[in-house]
Amino acid sequence: MSACGFAASVLAYIGSFAGTLVDSIFPWFVLLILGWMVLVLLTPAATYRSLKTSTFPWRKSPRGERTWVVTGTLALMLIAAAHFLWSIAHEGSGVAGIVDGKYALESNGLILKVLTKEDYLTDRAAGLRSFATIMIYLYFPPMMYWWFRQTDRADQRHA
């Protein structure tokens, strides 16, 4: 489930460069958020017994994955934060929308700036990229957890 959420988020990020807008795939993001919440709530419940003896990266990993998993998680967090901050700096306190048939940057029903169609599409694609990077960051740790948990089990069976 976590790998599917991660892959869907990466595809959304790539799609944002191809002209996909956040509006067109919003229902998928609702599913991504719900899927992530299920992972966050059910992972500890499903693995309660094994958490005490876990070798997941922040405890002790025999193959040394800890370094690159933690580094990867931090890098993804910084990338997500950079996208989010760039989006806020670029759009200010408004959101790109269509008001009275015009492309505009609006805030609480007030038009802050009239946009060209190109600016509108750029802002909407940037919004998709921001959200997709946040979802990539959120799905990476659970994906790594389940990957190394399964790999550790397979290694123990073959030893």
Residue 139 CA to residue 129 CA, distance in Å, equals: 15
pLDDT band at 62 (very low <50, low <70, confident <90, very high): very low
What pTM was estimated for this model as a whole?
0.74
Say which amino acid occupies 98: I
Do residues 25 and 148 make contact, with C-beta atoms less than 8 angstroms apart?
no
Task: Tell me the pLDDT tens digit for each residue of 81-113.
Answer: 999 898 888 777 788 888 888 899 888 878 888
Range(s) of the domain holding residue 136: 2-158
* The CA-based dihedral angle spanning residues 41, 42, 45, 48, taken in that order and rounded to the nearest 10 degrees: -100
Starting from the edge strand earliest in sequence, which strands make up the sheet with 95-99, in order? 95-99, 102-107, 110-114
Say which amino acid occupies 133: T
How many helices (H) and strands (E) are present in the chain, helices listed first?
5, 3
Number of domains in the chain: 1
pLDDT band at 143 (very low <50, low <70, confident <90, very high): confident
Say which amino acid occupies 108: N
